[in-house]
């Protein structure tokens, strides 16, 4: 069932729209002009991934996510941690492409791993070289060696299909034991994506923040993807970037959604939901402004400790890494500065960065 915009009560929505528009504009200008804007944008990817999982009801530790991204896990990654890292990579991919690419059909299908529908003729293959004009002949007999393999596979196929020989019962295609997922055969992802893209076209005339709130509400109601519902936050953030409301970075929308009570986000009345989503935009911008202030103050304090050091000192590289990650470990710093782990610990001691884990082993430091 397609999502209908219907009649929106703009008189009620005007105040939260104005507040969200003003907050996002201030944040965008601040990040674009700030000396720590690049580090803030990279840190936002991790905070957004953790908050997105929190909104979905899953808990992922920020420390584990940062170490997993650096390929320095201290334990086997959980399923939730892998999903959170996919969110980080999806945001980076959206930021590398042009604004609005993620909200297009090709972008959504690329994120979802759905191939474009193409007609492939079995008898005509793309070849290069001398055999490019040849065509396959499906009726040609197999060589004796391959025919033997074919007979063995035909006799043992019931083991894979879980259907005894002679039985008329067929294997359920929606259950994939290898991936441990259950797919709904009636869940037409392509059609639902088309309905959501149609909604993107309809909200072009609305203000950017209201359009983003409607798109998120439509994503929640339509549920285009079975297993990648988290992609909606990335698409809404890229939509704001395509509307030039937040051009300097990709907004951490889930950070604001996390501040909204579930009763407001899941209420039956759409007007209340839209107001909550608009307030989430304002909350995300407010959290971003506070993070910018913390990073700016931390950068000045760290740079004071680097005054008077030799020109080939590794302190500038250490400061850049600390400001671009929520937390850093000694091995992460050693890899970035191309020094030994012992030297990394000396740099951390010279900079006076606060230790955030409270442990004796596998320690981490950062600006939070």
Number of folded domains that form the chain: 2
Q: At what angle do helices 208-222 and 10-33 cross, to 10 degrees?
A: 110
Q: What's the whole-number mean pLDDT along residues 124-146?
A: 50
Q: What's the whole-number mean pLDDT along residues 290-302?
A: 93
Q: How confident is the model at residue 113 (pLDDT cuts 50, 70, 90)?
A: confident
**Domain limits for position 321:** 306-351
Q: At what angle do helices 62-69 and 79-96 cross, to 10 degrees?
A: 60
What percent of the chain stands above pLDDT 90?
A: 58
Residue 123 is predicted with a pLDDT of 41
Per-position DSSP letters for 264-330, written without gaps between them: HHT-S-HHHHHHHHHHHHHHHHHHHHHHHHHHHHHHHHHHHHTTT--TT-SHHHHHHHHHHSS-B-H
Please tell me whether residues 204 and 100 are part of one structural domain: yes
The alpha carbon of residue 195 and the mean position of all alpha carbons in its chain are separated, in whole angstroms, by: 22
- 166 lies in some domain: no
pLDDT greater at residue 301 or residue 131: 301
Residue 139 is predicted with a pLDDT of 53
Residue 2 is predicted with a pLDDT of 77
For residue 44 the two structure tokens come to 């936002």
- 219 lies in some domain: yes
Q: What is the residue whose two structure tokens read 């990394």?
A: 344
Please tell me the pTM assigned to this model. Answer: 0.80
Please tell me whether residues 269 and 335 are part of one structural domain: no
Please tell me whether residues 203 and 341 are part of one structural domain: no
Please tell me whether residues 208 and 68 are part of one structural domain: yes
Q: How confident is the model at residue 160 (pLDDT cuts 50, 70, 90)?
A: low
Q: What's the whole-number mean pLDDT along residues 111-124?
A: 56
Residue 9 is predicted with a pLDDT of 85
pLDDT of residue 275 exceeding 90, the answer is: yes
Please tell me whether residues 218 and 99 are part of one structural domain: yes
pLDDT greater at residue 140 or residue 86: 86
Please tell me whether residues 287 and 328 are part of one structural domain: no
Please tell me whether residues 200 and 335 are part of one structural domain: no
Q: What's the whole-number mean pLDDT along residues 117-142?
A: 46
Please tell me whether residues 201 and 105 are part of one structural domain: yes
Q: How confident is the model at residue 1 (pLDDT cuts 50, 70, 90)?
A: low
């Amino acid at each position: 069932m397609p999502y209908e915009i219907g009649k929106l009560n703009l008189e009620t929505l005007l105040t939260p729209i104005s507040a969200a528009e003003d907050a996002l504009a201030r944040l965008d200008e601040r990040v674009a002009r700030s000396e720590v804007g690049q580090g803030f944008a990279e840190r936002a990817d991790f905070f957004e991934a953790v908050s997105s999982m929190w909104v979905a009801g899953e808990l992922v530790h920020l420390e584990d996510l940062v170490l997993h991204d650096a390929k320095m896990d201290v334990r086997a990654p959980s399923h939730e941690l892998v999903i959170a890292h996919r969110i980080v990579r999806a945001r980076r991919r959206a930021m590398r492409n042009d604004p609005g690419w993620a909200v297009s059909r090709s972008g959504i299908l690329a994120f979802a791993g759905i191939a474009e529908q193409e007609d492939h003729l079995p008898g005509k293959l793309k070849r290069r070289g001398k055999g490019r004009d040849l065509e396959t002949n499906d009726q040609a007999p197999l060589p004796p060696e391959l025919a033997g393999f074919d007979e063995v596979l035909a006799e043992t196929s019931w083991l894979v299909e879980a259907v005894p020989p002679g039985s008329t019962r067929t294997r359920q295609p929606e259950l994939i034991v290898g991936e441990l997922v259950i797919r709904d055969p009636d869940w037409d992802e392509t059609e639902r994506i088309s309905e959501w893209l149609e909604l993107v076209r309809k909200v072009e005339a609305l203000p950017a923040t209201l359009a983003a709130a409607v798109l998120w509400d439509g994503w929640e109601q339509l549920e285009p993807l079975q297993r990648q519902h988290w992609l909606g936050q990335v698409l809404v953030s890229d939509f704001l970037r395509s509307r030039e409301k937040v051009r300097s970075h990709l907004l951490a929308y889930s950070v604001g959604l996390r501040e909204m009570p579930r009763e407001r986000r899941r209420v039956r009345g759409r007007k209340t939901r839209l107001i909550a989503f608009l307030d989430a935009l304002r909350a995300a911008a407010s959290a971003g402004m506070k993070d910018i202030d913390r990073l700016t103050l931390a950068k000045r304090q760290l740079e004071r400790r680097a005054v008077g050091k030799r020109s080939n000192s590794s302190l500038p590289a250490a400061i850049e890494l600390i400001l671009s990650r929520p937390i850093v470990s000694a091995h992460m710093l050693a890899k970035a500065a191309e020094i030994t782990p012992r030297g990394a610990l000396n740099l951390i001691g010279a900079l006076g960065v606060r230790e955030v884990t409270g442990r004796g082993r596998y320690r981490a430091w950062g600006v939070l």
